[in-house]
Amino acid sequence: MNKLSKRIGLLTTVLSIFWATGCSDFLDESDPSNFTVENYFTQPAHARSSVNAIYAPMRDPMNSGFGGGAWMMTEFATGLAATDLGQAVNSYFIKDLRNTSDNGYGQTYWTSYYRGIANANLSIAKVPTVPGLDAAEGKKLLGEAYFLRAWYYFNLVRMFGNIPLVTEPISLESEQLKPSAATPEEVYNLIVSDLKTAEASGLPWTDNTGKVNMGAVKSLLSQVYLTMAGYPLQKGASHYDLAAKKAEEVIDSKQFKLFASYNDFHDPSKKNIDENIFMIQFRTQILPSNWQVSIIPYNKNISQYSDETGGIYSTGDFAKSYDPADLRIKEKQFFFTKFTNESNRNLEVDLGGYFIYKHFDQTAQTSSANSDLNWPVIRYADVLLTYAEAANEAGGPSAKVLEAVNAIRTRAQLPALAGLAKDKLREAIWRERWYELCFENITWFDMVRLRKAFNVKTKEFENYVGHKFSYGPTLTERELVFPIPTPEIRNNTNLRQNNGY
């Protein structure tokens, strides 16, 4: 590795260092451009800051504005999202199933998440060499790094399919500077290995500062096993059983619980506790969450934000498919259809659609225009539904399966499920996933692993390939993955574009 590449790699890490719970503990050194690998990893604080840097790229896809936001990519791919933002062409290409490899959303994910992987690889290689680092602390730091590398790869392999698998720091002279693609199974094998290493690292079950915790590790591993049980690997019963057992560990730990109210989803005081097992961290006035402009209607004058983009909201067909008795579809639960005028809060405005309230920051929207909300990555509700689905597949209906799914339904003020055969219970659990986890970057991944889509008219599940969105377009096999971004194909001749793009 030459000195230039060392400095580039370290500068990338240093500039992204910010522990996103809000504490602004940047490095004290005055000239980061002088850092190299050799002179940086020289004290315990450097180990912590290098791991902090791994978290930072998680935030990049959340950037939102009049060009849309990369986080919307997997939402428009479900056919359940609408937009009024005409200039966000990337949204329309995906929504209307006309996507291409030039889509900037995919490029943001690819670039950001591989930067996170690069930062993880650097920490994994260098943290063990830091002099004076307490052995137990070093093991926990590596646990965070392995978890985060697994998380980035889990998202990338599901989005793009055959992707490069890079596990060591890369220099300008490295053979892996232009890596070939690995098979999905090879990527999943690394993900499982990394998460098992994180499991053995001694991390605490919870961490209210937002760092990786044991609950997050075991929850993600359950999701990985559930995905491996389905497509494309089709590991089947063995991995449904593994998924159920790992989710059960989280449930049996008694460290997490469902919020009593959906209002807690967008209460900043509830960040990183109870139902919020793991989140992307933001902090008002320091790194405010920036999707608020996307989830409000286009120029309806309801918000303190100057940009009201109408970037994403639910299709009416999806919202209307909820049981009318479901609390989640009531006004200002998961969605909102009216709000007060910005200049006269006594005047109510009809918004003309079902906008996303579960991520809505009341204080930011009505006064500060500076949001303190985190973005949910793993909620306890997801763990319960993962357990219910996996355990039902592995062993059929049981009291504990019903208890898990009915906890979600009880909060939604729906009657408990009972007496269902395995097949009927399977689809009932899927429906709860669609309704409970919507607009959290989960549903499209469920569609792909199941090869199923939800028909909002019949409220039944049908094959993914051939499924017609309620507004017209029909899914084909090519939409099982997103296109590898054009610059990656152009700059790395070892990569092949996904079929159909």
Q: Please write the tens of the pLDDT for every residue from 117-168.
A: 999 999 999 999 999 999 999 999 999 999 999 999 999 999 999 999 999 9
Crossing angle for the helix pair 443-450 and 422-436, nearest 10 degrees?
150
CB atoms within 10 A of CB 26: 14
The tokens 């607009």 sit on which residue? Answer: 439
Mean per-residue pLDDT, 325-340: 98
The identity of residue 501, as a single letter, is Y
Q: Please write the tens of the pLDDT for every residue from 424-457.
A: 999 999 999 999 999 999 999 999 999 999 999 9
DSSP string, 302-330: --SSS------EE-HHHHHTS-TT-GGGS
Q: Which band of pLDDT confidence, cut at 50, 70 and 90, is reported for residue 39? A: confident
Mean per-residue pLDDT, 476-485: 98
- The contacts of residue 81 (CB under 8 Å, 6+ apart) are 72, 75, 95, 312, 313, 314, 315, 439
CA 334 from chain centre, in angstroms, equals: 18
CA 152 from chain centre, in angstroms, equals: 9
Secondary structure element (H or E) that encloses residue 52, with its range? helix 44-55
Distance (Å, whole) CA 93 – CA 86:
11
Spell out the domains of the chain, with CATH numbers in brackets. Answer: 3-83+100-202+483-491 (1.25.40.890), 282-373 (no CATH)
* pLDDT, position 3: 37
For residue 31, is pLDDT > 60?
Answer: no
* pLDDT, position 337: 98
* pLDDT, position 170: 85
Mean pLDDT of the chain: 93
* pLDDT, position 35: 55
* pLDDT, position 178: 86
For residue 190, is pLDDT > 80?
Answer: yes
For residue 25, is pLDDT > 90?
Answer: no
Distance (Å, whole) CA 393 – CA 390:
5
**pTM greater than 0.75:** yes
* pLDDT, position 47: 96
Distance (Å, whole) CA 61 – CA 79:
20
Mean per-residue pLDDT, 279-292: 96
For residue 411, is pLDDT > 70?
Answer: yes
Q: Please write the tens of the pLDDT for every residue from 347-387.
A: 999 999 999 999 999 999 999 999 999 999 999 999 999 99
Q: Please write the tens of the pLDDT for every residue from 456-473.
A: 999 999 999 999 999 999
For residue 7, is pLDDT > 50?
Answer: no
* pLDDT, position 23: 36
Helices and strands of the chain, counted as H and E runs: 17, 8
Q: DSSP secondary-structure letter at 97?
A: T
For residue 171, is pLDDT > 90?
Answer: no
Distance (Å, whole) CA 115 – CA 110:
8
